[in-house]
């Protein structure tokens, strides 16, 4: 007889996100010289770090603020004042028609999506309901969050080759079917792992499909609008009634506070708050306290536009220059269009081994990347393309990125 329940076994067993996080953590602990080109850790941007340090010093000097931050339990939907401040920010800066009743503070985006997916999908009145991801590949952290089997279904993206070393995924609307078992459509924008930003037309068509079938359209904005704003196209997704948006504090340099905000209908917000009360009792106060003042005076938008986005765009340009220098035209390779986020999605069109095997070979040479197959889940068919891609991050110091990419190129050339 098993010690664990079916749900316990599902959550406690091995998963892509668990294996990779363990691998990354162990590597950093036991191999301090590892070239970390995997993971989603934001870069240490000096100007941004200085801002958070200054705010922490201010909080420590304000005894009433510090005591409130450390001693108080907030309601499970988040601090009421913070929710009002955040709603006012979204109304003022994004022109979203929201109030505090549309805002829930959650203990990280990962936790928020776990609750959202299982709130909307799973076994429902004797029938199975699922979450649809309209473009595969999609964020690895979603893959194992379902409390029931086969809760996720994905549609492979159309590969649009735009040059010898350039391609982009697009939504395949001819294959995208909203069957009666679909409970919601979900997409990350910019997408983790590829940096893909859906077009305004794709966004509108997905929104309209969700409306037509009376299901939520969920957009994960962890890397995008309104902050940290690491989007290099002119597309700005707009929240509307019937949508669910998730916004994270992590990518503005605060991954340690584990705080995110969900924007949705009051019905969804109330349900998330009730779930959060059961799972977490209350949210952490540190992130909300740090962020409040910078929402009110628009400091957060300023640093996103003037510091964070240019920083990552420059890092991305330098990483691509190194790849072009090292890979040249001797190998059939291509990069996904760089439209946002902190990653490069590299496709080796004739890779003679799997991306998982390449990952292991690079790990032996103290370079960590993320093999692409983890990001293709919920598919009915096996795609050779999924075994030909890897995700790279360029958030680490430039010397580490250069060394890692040089070793990667050397390894691939030797295959």
Question: At 383, which CATH number?
Answer: 3.90.1150.10
Q: Do 251 and 135 share a structural domain?
A: yes
Strand 166-170 versus strand 333-336 pairing type = parallel
Task: Give yes or no: residues 21 and 111 share one domain.
Answer: no
pLDDT score at 328: 86
Total number of domains in the chain: 2
Please check whether residues 289 and 322 belong to one and the same domain: no
Query: Encoding tokens for residue 115?
Result: 């609750």
pLDDT at 23: 66
pTM of the complete model beyond 0.85: yes
Q: How many CB atoms lie within 10 A of CB 275?
A: 20
Torsion of CA 375, 381, 383, 387, to 10 degrees: 50
Q: What pLDDT score was predicted for residue 50? A: 94
Boundary of a domain, candidates 301, 320, 340: 301
Q: How far apart are CA 264 and CA 270, in angstroms?
A: 10
Q: 237: domain range? A: 72-301
One domain, residues 192 and 246: yes
- Structural domain ending residue among the three candidates 301, 330, 352: 301
Instruction: Tell whether 67 is covered by a domain.
Output: no
pLDDT at position 380, please? 87
Report yes or no: 232 and 339 within 8 Å, Cβ to Cβ.
yes
Domain boundary among 283, 301, 319: 301
CB atoms within 10 A of CB 195: 25
CA dist 292 and 89 (Å) reads: 10
Q: Are residues 283 and 210 in the same domain?
A: yes
Given its phi and psi angles, is residue 214 left (phi above 0), alpha (psi -120 to 50 degrees) or beta?
Answer: left
Query: Would 34 be classed as within a structural domain?
Result: yes
| CA atoms within a 13 Å half-sphere pointing along the CA-CB vector of 400 | 18
Residue 199 covered by a domain: yes
> Do 283 and 136 have their domain in common?
yes
Indicate if 204 and 318 belong to the same structural domain.
Answer: no
Whether residue 137 contacts residue 372, with contact meaning beta carbons closer than 8 Å, is answered with yes
In a domain, 57, yes or no: no
Which sign, positive or negative, has the C-alpha torsion 406, 411, 412, 414? positive
Low-confidence ranges of the chain (pLDDT < 50): none
- Asked whether residue 335 is domain-assigned, the answer is yes
- Please indicate, yes or no, whether residues 354 and 292 belong to a single structural domain of this protein: no
Same structural domain for residues 296 and 319? no
Q: Tell me whether residue 58 is in a domain.
A: no
DSSP 317-359: HHHHHHHHHHHTTTS-EEEE---BSSEEEEEETT-SS-HHHHH
Claim to verify: residue 330 and residue 276 sit in the same structural domain: no
Q: Supply the DSSP string of 135-172, one letter for each residue.
A: EES--GGGTT--SSTT-EEEEEPEEEEEETTEEEEE--
Residue with tokens 């003679």: 352
Per residue, the 3-state secondary structure of 279-317, as one string, reads: HCCCCCCHHHHHHHHHHHCCHHHHHHHHHHHHHHHHHHH
**Can you give the CATH number for the domain in which 286 is found?**
3.40.640.10
Kind of pairing, strands 370-371 and 103-106? unpaired
Q: What is the predicted pLDDT for the residue at 228? A: 93
Using a 10 angstrom Cβ sphere, with 0-12 exposed, 13-18 middle and 19 or more buried, the burial of residue 28 is: middle
pLDDT at 124: 84
Give a yes or no: residue 83 inside a domain. Answer: yes
- 330 and 274 housed in the same domain: no
Residue 55 falls inside a structural domain: no
Answer yes or no: do 87 and 197 share one domain. yes
């Amino acid at each position: 007889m098993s010690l664990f329940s079916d749900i316990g076994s599902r959550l406690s067993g091995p998963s892509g996100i668990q294996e990779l996080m363990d691998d990354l953590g162990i590597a950093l602990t036991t191999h301090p010289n590892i070239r970390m080109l995997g993971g989603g850790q934001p870069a240490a941007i000096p100007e941004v770090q200085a801002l958070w340090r200054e705010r922490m010093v201010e909080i420590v000097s304000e005894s009433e603020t510090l005591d409130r931050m450390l001693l108080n339990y907030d309601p499970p939907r988040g601090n009421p004042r913070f929710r009002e401040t955040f709603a006012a920010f979204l109304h003022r800066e994004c022109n979203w028609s929201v109030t505090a009743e549309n805002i829930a503070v959650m203990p990280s985006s990962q936790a928020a999506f776990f609750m959202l997916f299982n709130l909307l999908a799973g076994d429902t009145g004797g029938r199975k309901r699922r979450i649809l991801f309209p473009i595969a590949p999609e964020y690895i952290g979603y893959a194992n969050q379902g409390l029931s089997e086969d809760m996720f279904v994905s549609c492979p993206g159309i590969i649009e080759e735009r040059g010898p070393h350039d391609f982009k995924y697009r939504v395949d609307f001819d294959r995208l079917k909203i069957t009666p078992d679909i409970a919601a459509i979900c997409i990350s924008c910019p997408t983790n792992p590829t940096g893909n930003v859906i077009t305004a037309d794709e966004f509108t068509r997905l929104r309209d499909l969700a409306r037509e079938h009376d299901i939520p359209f969920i957009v994960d904005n962890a890397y995008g609008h309104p902050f940290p704003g690491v989007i290099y196209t002119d597309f700005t997704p707009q929240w509307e009634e019937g949508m669910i948006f998730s916004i994270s504090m992590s990518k503005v340099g605060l991954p340690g506070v584990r705080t995110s905000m969900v924007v949705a209908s009051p019905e969804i917000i109330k349900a998330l708050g009730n779930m959060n009360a059961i799972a977490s009792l209350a949210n952490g106060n540190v992130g909300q306290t740090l962020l409040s003042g910078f929402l009110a005076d628009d400091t957060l938008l300023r640093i996103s536009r003037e510091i964070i986005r240019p920083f990552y765009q420059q890092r991305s340009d330098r990483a691509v220059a190194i790849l072009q220098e090292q890979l040249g035209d001797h190998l059939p390779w291509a990069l996904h269009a760089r439209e946002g986020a902190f990653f490069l999605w590299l496709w080796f069109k004739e890779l003679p081994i799997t991306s998982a095997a390449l990952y292991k070979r690079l790990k032996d040479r103290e370079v960590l990347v993320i093999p692409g197959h983890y990001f293709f889940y919920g598919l009915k068919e096996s795609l050779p393309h999924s075994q030909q891609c890897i995700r790279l991050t360029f958030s680490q110091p430039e010397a580490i990125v250069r060394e890692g990419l040089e070793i990667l190129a050397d390894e691939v050339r030797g295959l």
